Amino acid sequence: MQIYKVGGAVRDRLLGLPVADIDWVVVGATAAQMQAEGYRPVGEDFPVFLHPQTGEEYALARTERKSGQGYGGFTFFASPEVTLEEDLLRRDLTINAMAEDQHGTLTDPFHGQRDLQARILRHVSPAFAEDPLRVLRVARFAARYAPLGFHVAEETQALMRQLSESGELRALTAERSWKEISRALMEARPDVFVQTLRDCGALQELLPEVDALFGVPQPAQYHPEIDTGIHTLSVLRQCAEHRQPLSVRWACLLHDVGKGLTPESDWPRHIAHETRGLKLIRAVNQRCKAPRDCQELALLVGEYHTHGHRALELRPSTLLELLQRFDVYRRPQRFEEFIATCEMDARGRHGLEQRGYPQAAYLRGAATAARAVTVQPLLERGLQGAQLGEALTGERLKALKAYKENAGHM
């Protein structure tokens, strides 16, 4: 039995990056031997075992063969005869197909170290084109390592394009796709993830609503970058620079999809794109099975982001409706994320990335003013039911009128 450290742990050590998770491959062993050594089997699909002390995953060396459509369409063969090189051959990228033994000796049959130094993301073998999930994985690695200067090899892009055109991407389950998309959006350059998918035709297959934004113009006085797709990429880049959570990044990705429905005769204006985009946001949410918090924020941002930009001009009654819609009394964090999304949208414009966003402080102040209104005095007046609700709304409106007036004098 020989044990090797493989994949990301080897890659990141060679890049001088922190190593988070360690994957191990065991060559020359059977499942019975592993269990006799105290390793606990994980599931039935793969020959993977948990170490009795550390809980880390140890997988028997295996080969795989395409047997159907999609990510799950493979049969695996694990036996003591499978070599380390054969196991590494089934991996996606050369930089992920390296192994180290207990002495630190590197096994690198596909020149992953050379590609690390050249900053290239290159597939290991033509079998890459058998697994549609690899399109998303490569785009995610491109997003992660873009700050280090990595790019996708031309021949790998060609295979990604081949997969995109084959229809295989549609065979991916929503759960697998979302896992990659959500991880990619949290990488250092989520905009590179989207651009990489677009370059190989995968964005059109997976997120056609976002793909449709490229080439759609906006008024230059508000959007110096003009192109709505380019604007979306810029907003995502701002999200990463400002370390926004996943829900904000998801909402930013989808906030302008309504502009893809604007008739060309109306360009570059996009009247009512907010409400027009809601059906598209619902469709994407459902197709990707995004978590509930991401779904809710994306819909609210889609409908109200221009309210956020116009916050200082809003009438107190409109401001109150906005606060009620976000339920700022019970869900204050969601309103904070809305404000963050609006700010990223405003900063995601070429040349305006550093411009201040006074609307953020104004909206926070409005929420504080509305929340400061308490129900107790109204209860003491004997109000209840619908009367109590009306009176509470009236008091909050009064508070917002005072807030707006005071803000105007500051």
What pLDDT is stored for residue 75 in this prediction? 66
Q: What is the DSSP letter of 138?
A: H
What pLDDT is stored for residue 45 in this prediction? 65
Residue 263 pLDDT greater than 80, yes or no: yes
What pLDDT is stored for residue 248 in this prediction? 98
pTM score, whole prediction: 0.92
- Domain covering 1-118, topology: Beta Polymerase; domain 2 (3.30.460)
Q: What is the pLDDT of residues 15-60, one digit of tens each?
A: 999 998 889 999 999 999 999 999 999 876 678 999 999 989 999 9
What pLDDT is stored for residue 383 in this prediction? 80
Among 201, 205, 225, CA closest to 215: 225
**Distance (Å, rounded) from C-alpha 259 to C-alpha 285?**
18
What pLDDT is stored for residue 377 in this prediction? 85
What pLDDT is stored for residue 409 in this prediction? 55
Q: What is the mean pLDDT of residues 308-328?
A: 97
What pLDDT is stored for residue 382 in this prediction? 82
CA-angle at 134, arms to 130 and 137, nearest 5°: 175
What pLDDT is stored for residue 66 in this prediction? 57
**Distance (Å, rounded) from C-alpha 55 to C-alpha 48?**
12
**Distance (Å, rounded) from C-alpha 247 to C-alpha 396?**
29
What pLDDT is stored for residue 380 in this prediction? 78
Q: What is the mean pLDDT of residues 234-248?
A: 98
Range of lowest pLDDT (15-24, 268-277, 341-350): 15-24
What pLDDT is stored for residue 336 in this prediction? 98
Among 90, 83, 43, CA closest to 65: 90
What pLDDT is stored for residue 269 in this prediction? 95
Supply φ then ψ for residue 107, to 5 degrees: -110, 120
Q: What is the mean pLDDT of residues 323-331?
A: 95
Percent of the chain with pLDDT over 70: 96
